Structure 1
C-alpha cells in the first residue's frame, strides 16, 4: 500500500507503533497521550480495583463517578483501555505476552514495585530486546532518593522553583499550573521518539529514566548554572522592561527584553536618554530609574490600550488575563487548538480538550477516538494476543481483568 493510500491516521508519524501505558495521574499519561495523538496504538493498562486516580478528578461529580473526570479526559483520547491485575500470575503472563509485540512501555510505578513482580526493565527488555522501556520517576533511579514519592507540587518545592516564584509579600508560591508534570511528559515523549529513531539503526531497544526533579532543574537551566557558579558574581537589579505594572484598570506584563525593544519603547514614550542606552550593563545600571519612570506612565491607560499600543511598536506585552479569558481567545478556535469531545454521559456537557501546541501541514496530531472507559477494550486486546473468548470470560470472573 502506498503512503498516499493510507488513512489520515495511518499517515501519522507513529502509526504501527504499539505503546503499553502503565502510568497514572498526569506526567506519564500525558507522555503516552502525545504518542497517541501522533498515531501510536496506546494501550492504557490499569488495575481493575485501583484505576488511574485522574479518572475521579474534575469539576463534574457525575463524570468523576463514572471514571471519566476531566483530569482524565484531557489526556485519554486515542487510547484503548485494558483493566489488568498485575498482582495476579495470569495478569503478569498477559502483560508479558503484550510486551512481545510492543515497541514501547512507559510506567511511573514507585521504584522497585514492578521489579518485585518480575516485570522490571531488565526482564522485559530481555524478553523483547527491541522494547523501549521508559520509567517516569520523581528523583530518578539508583540513589538514596529513588524511593521518595513525588508529585508536581512537591517537586516545585524541592527543586527551588517555589523559592524563585514569590508572592508580593515575598513568600514562596506554587505555580497554578502543573508545569513540571507536563514538561516531564514532553521530555519522556521526546526521549521515546529519539529512541525509536535510534532503534532503526541499532535494531535494539533502550531503557530510559525520565525524572521530574531533573526536568524542573532543566527548566531553570540558567538559574541552576548560576547557582553552581563559583566565579565572580555581580548583583543585578530587576530589569525595567520586564515585569508587571499597574495600569488604569489592571495589570500588564511588559516584555521589552533586549536593547532594540528598549530603544523603541523609550523613543515612543519620548525619553531619548533611556532610548540611547546600549548593552546590558547600561540597561542594568539604569533599571531603577526606568522602572520609576514607567510606574506613573502605565497608570495613564488601560491594560488593553497599552497592549494594543505596545504591540503596534513591536514590544511584547500582554494584560494579565484569567484562564477563562485566555482559553476563549479567538485565535485558538481558528487554529483548532481545542478538540471537543462529545458528552460522555447523559446530561453532561461536551468537553473541549487541548490537542497539541504544534500543527503539521499534513497527518499531524489528531483525536480519532474518545477516552475509553475502564476496561473498555480488554476483550478486544486479549483477543489480539490469542486469548479465546471463554478464557477472557474466565479471567473476568476471577477479577484478573475488567
Structure 2
C-alpha cells in the first residue's frame, strides 16, 4: 500500500495520537508498505518521524481552508499515486477528503483517539459522503458515533492501541536523584497539564496524604496550559515536597519503570497510551473509571478503577495498594500479562493493515 499519514498538529505539540501514528507508520513500513508522514516542517512530529527513518512531506494545514496546503496535498497525491490517507486532525480529514476526490482513487480514513465529531450537519456530509472509514481506539467512541445512525456497521473500526516496551533501558532512580527515603512511595503521572487530566484532583489527594503522614511523593511528567496554575496551587498548599513537576520528558519509559505506582486521574480519555505504557512495564495502576480506562483495566484484576473528580476515592485507592503489597504485586503481574496477550503492537498492526486494505479494495 502507498499510505500518507497526515497530521497538522501544532509544531510544539506531541500526544498519544502522534505516538500512535508514528508507531503504526513504522510498523507498516517494516511490513513493506510505502509510508510517508505529512506534517509541518520543524515540528515535533516531523523530528520524531525522521528519527524513526520515516519519509516526511511538508504538508500541513493552519485552518480548514488552507488553500496553499490543499494544493500541496493534491499535488502530492497525484505525483506519488497515494492509495490511502490516514488523518490525525479534523482539518486534515476535511481537506484530504476534497483533495482525494479530485485526485481520484484515493481513500481517506480518519483516526480518532478522542471524540472529534458531534451529531451536527457540518460533520455529516464529509463523514458520510467523502471519507471511507474511521479508526478509533475506544469502544465508547464507536458507540457514540454509531448512535448518530450515519454509518454502516463496519465504517467505524475499533482497533486498540498496541504497545511493546523497549528491549533495553535503565529505570530512573527517584530516591537517589531526589534524595528520598527508602520508605517513600513514588507515584508517577504522565500527560499534558490540561484540565482533562485531573491534576487538580491529584494535588488535593497529595494534601490528604500529607495530613495523614503518608510518605507519598507524586511526580508529574508533562507540560501544558495549566502549568503555572498547578505549580501555584502546589506552592500555596505547601505541597512542594509532595508534588514534583518533571516538565516535558521525551522518553518517559525509564521514569514510569522507576515508579512504585502509576496514577492517571483524568476526567475523560480515549485509549490512554500512558496507561498502556505503565501496564506494559508491569506497573500497578490506579486510574479513573472513564472511557478507554474501563476497556483497558478490569477493576481489582489488572489495576484499580476509581471515580473521576474524587480526591478521596483516589486517596483510598492508593491507600489500598500501598497497604497491601501482595495486591499491588498481583495487579502489576496481571497488567503486564493483559498487555502482552490483548494489546500487542503486532496485533494492532495486523488489524490496521487489514482495515486499510479493505478500504482500498472496496
Q: Does the TM-score normalized on the shorter chain lie above 0.5?
A: no
Which of the five TM-score ranges fits, normalised by the shorter chain? 0.3 to 0.5
TM-score normalized by structure 2?
Answer: 0.35
Q: Which has the larger radius of gyration?
A: 1
